[in-house]
Structure 1
C-alpha cells in the first residue's frame, strides 16, 4: 500500500475533518499497520494497534495498564489472519468491522448533544478580545462557528458592554434548537461534534463481534474495566497504575506558583487559572519548563498578550479572596503522579507543564496560547520528556512560605500537607487489588464530598455504591428500596454542607481509609490472600462500623446494619 493509497483511505472517511488531531493520527497509524501486515483492508484490530502506537492518550494508557501492549496485539493479529499476497499496492479500504467501529465512535460523539427541548439547561461560552468583538460588530458579520452555535450580534454587543475593557465572554445555550440538531448529518457537521481518541476506543468496544474486541477478550481483558478506567481518568486524579506520590514542590515550582498568583492579581481575576500557571512557569525563568519554552522561542511578554483577564472583577484589597480554578486543582495532583512515575522526589516545573499539555488532546487554552506563539506542541512534549527522563532536577523547596499572597488553602505549604495525607490513600490502592468498579466509587465519592464541602468519608462511599449498583449489590439495594437520590438526600439532611473552603487536594478521612482496609479484610476472608476487592467487599467493610454514622444513615433510610449485612451475605 503506497502513501497515495493511505491518503485516499483517509479522504474516504466522511466527517474526518471533525476528528481531533490525535484521532486522525490513530487512524493513519492503523492504515500503516495494515500496510505492514500486507492487508488490503483496515479493521478494528488495526485501529487497536493505532491506539497503542499513539501511546500518549488516556485510551492508550488504559490499555497498557490492563496489559494490552503493542507487541501482544501485533502477535494476536498476525496469528489470527493469514498474510494476503500481492496486495501492497491494491486499493485500501476499511473492513466491515473497521467501518462499524468508526461509525460507533461517531455515535458516541453524537451522545454529547442534549435532547431537543433542553433550552436553558446547559450553557457554554466563547471568548474573544475586546478588539475582536468590536471588529465583529463593526463588520456586522459573525464567525461561521459562532453563528452555527446560535450566537447573535446582540449577544456580542451585550457581552462587550459587560466586559468593561476585559476579556469578552459570549454565552451560548447548548440546549437551544441550534445546538440540538435532530438530523444525523446536521449533528455531525455541528461545531460541538468532535471524535477524539477516547471515542475511537469506545467505538471499537461497541462492535462486540469485531476482530479488535475478540483480540482483547483473547488477552483476558475485561471490556467493562476499560470503560471504567477511561471514566476514572476523565473524572479523577487517582493514578491507574502503581506509583508512589510526590508530596513536595521544587524551588522553581514554588516560585512559578507564586508568580501565577501574581499574574492573576495583575489581571484582577477572581480565580487562579491554568493559563496563569503557564505564565508563572515562563516567568520563573530558570526551571525545566521555562528553559524548554525559551528554546522554542517563547517570550513572556508575547505570552502575556495572548492570556487575557477572566470575565469577573475582584477587589484585591483582600488577598484571601483568591481561589483556584477547579481544573488547576487536578493539575497539581496529576503532576504529582507524573513526578513519582519518573521516580522524582518532588514536583517540578517540567511535570506541571507536561500535564498542562497532556490534557484534552491539545484543545486546552494553554495549548492554544502556545500554538499562537508558533510552538510545535509535539516537539515541546518530547523535549520535556527527554529532559525529565534525563533526571534534569530542580532544587527541592523548603517549608518557608511567603505570607499574604495566597488564600489559606491555596498556599504551597497547605497543598504539600494535603498531598502527604493523600499518600496513604494511594498507597492503599496500590498495595491491594481493588477492582476498577471500586475506583469508580472512590472518584464519585470524592466529587460528592467536594460538592458538599466535606472530606471524603465512609458515608460518601455508601451513597455512591448506590449510584450504579450491579450484581448482588443491585439485588440488595432494590430489595431495600435504596437508590442514590434517596441516599444523598438522607446524607444532606443529616450532615448538611460544610462551611469552610474545600482543600486543594480532596483527601479521604482516616475512617474512610480504615473502611477500605476492612474491605480488604472482607475480600481475603472469602477469597484468600491477594483476592480482588469488589464493591460488595467495600459495603461489608462499611458495615463493620456498627454504631457510627453509617448505622445512623442506614436508619434514616429505613434499614439497619444487620439487615443490610444479612441480605448482602445471602446474595453473595
Structure 2
C-alpha cells in the first residue's frame, strides 16, 4: 500500500494558516474536503481508463475496486447526459463555451464534442482558441474541418443530451485542471479534454489540422509560465 502523500496535519495547518475565525476555518475545511473528494474520484478514474486501455475487463476492474462489474460500468462508462457533471471551478469563459456549444447543436439530436470545439473557437479570447490558432496548420482550418464533419440530425429533443463522448471529454477537462494543479477549469482544460477523448469528432478534427494533445498541453503550460513571468508569447505558427 502506498502511503498517502497528503497528511491530515498538513491540511489542518493549511486551513489554520489561511483563516483565523473558527467558523471560517470550518467553511474552508468543508470546501477543501469537496476538492479532495473530486481529486480522489479523478485519481480512480485515471487508473480505470488506464486499465481499460491495457485490456482489463470490467469484471476485473470491478473486483479491483471492490464492486460488481455492473457497478463499475455504471460509474465509469461514459453515457449520454442531459447535464454532465461539471464543477463550480469553471471559469466564466468555460461556462460560455458550454452555452455556445448548445447554440451550435440547436439542429442536432445531441451536443457533441464538435459543438464544444466550435464554442471554444468562438470564445476567441480564451486560451483554448489561442492555443489552436498557434498550433493549427493554417488560420481557420480547424473550424472548417469540424464544420464539415457536423451534420444536422434534428429534430432536437427536449431536454437535449450531451453525447457520451462529450460527457467524457468534459470530465477529462476537469481532470486536466486537477492534474496541472490549477484551481479553475478554463477553456484550455476543456481543449485538453476534447483532445484526450480521441474517439470524439473534435479530437479527430484537431488531429487533421495538426493540433495534438502533447503539443497543446506543452503550449498551455508554457503560456501559464509566461503569464507568471511577464514574457511575451511567440507568434502563431502561421504568422
1:366 matched to 2:206? The reply is: no
Distance 1:323 1:224 in 2: 31
CA apart distance, 1:225: 2.3
SS at 1:344 equivalent: coil
CA apart distance, 1:300: 4.0
Cα 1:223–1:264 shift into 2, 3 Å: closer
Match of 2:117 among 275, 278, 282: 278
Match of 1:379 among 200, 210, 215: 215
Residue pairs, 1:212-223, within 5 angstroms = none
Structure 1 runs, 4 residues or longer, greater than 6 Å off: none
- Larger Rg computed on CA atoms: 1
Give the number of aligned pairs.
Answer: 170
1:288 matched to 2:124? The reply is: no
Q: TM-score, structure 1 length as denominator?
A: 0.25
Cα 1:289–1:325 shift into 2, 3 Å: same
CA apart distance, 1:278: 0.9
Deviations 1:134-161 (CA, angstroms, capped at 9, x unpaired): xxxxxxxxxxxxxxxxxxxxxxxxxxxx
Distance 2:165 2:140 in 1: 23
- Given that residues 133 and 139 in structure 2 are in contact (C-alpha distance below 8 angstroms), is that contact kept between their aligned partners in structure 1? yes
Cα 1:59–1:342 shift into 2, 3 Å: closer
Which residue does 2:54 correspond to in 1? 198
Which residue does 1:538 correspond to in 2? none
1:332 matched to 2:170? The reply is: yes
Cα 1:283–1:300 shift into 2, 3 Å: farther
Distance 2:178 2:227 in 1: 14
Cα 1:382–1:301 shift into 2, 3 Å: closer
Cα 1:340–1:375 shift into 2, 3 Å: closer
Which residue does 1:304 correspond to in 2? 144
CA apart distance, 1:261: 2.0
- Given that residues 270 and 321 in structure 1 are in contact (C-alpha distance below 8 angstroms), is that contact kept between their aligned partners in structure 2? no
Cα 1:198–1:387 shift into 2, 3 Å: farther
SS at 2:102 equivalent: helix
CA apart distance, 1:313: 2.1
Cα 1:341–1:379 shift into 2, 3 Å: closer
Q: TM-score, structure 2 length as denominator?
A: 0.54
SS at 2:105 equivalent: helix
Residue pairs, 1:26-45, within 5 angstroms = none
Which residue does 1:256 correspond to in 2? 97
Residue pairs, 1:158-173, within 5 angstroms = none
- Given that residues 78 and 164 in structure 2 are in contact (C-alpha distance below 8 angstroms), is that contact kept between their aligned partners in structure 1? no
SS at 1:285 equivalent: coil
Cα 1:223–1:275 shift into 2, 3 Å: closer
SS at 2:108 equivalent: coil
Residue pairs, 1:237-252, within 5 angstroms = 246-252=87-93
Distance 2:66 2:199 in 1: 22
Distance 1:289 1:250 in 2: 13
1:345 matched to 2:206? The reply is: no
Q: Which runs of 5+ in 2 are unaligned?
A: 1-42, 80-85, 229-239
CA apart distance, 1:288: 1.5
Residue pairs, 1:450-489, within 5 angstroms = none
Distance 1:347 1:223 in 2: 30
CA apart distance, 1:353: 1.0
CA apart distance, 1:246: 4.2
Cα 1:321–1:385 shift into 2, 3 Å: same
Specify which structure has the bigger relative contact order, considering alpha-carbon pairs within 8 angstroms and separated by 6 or more residues: 2
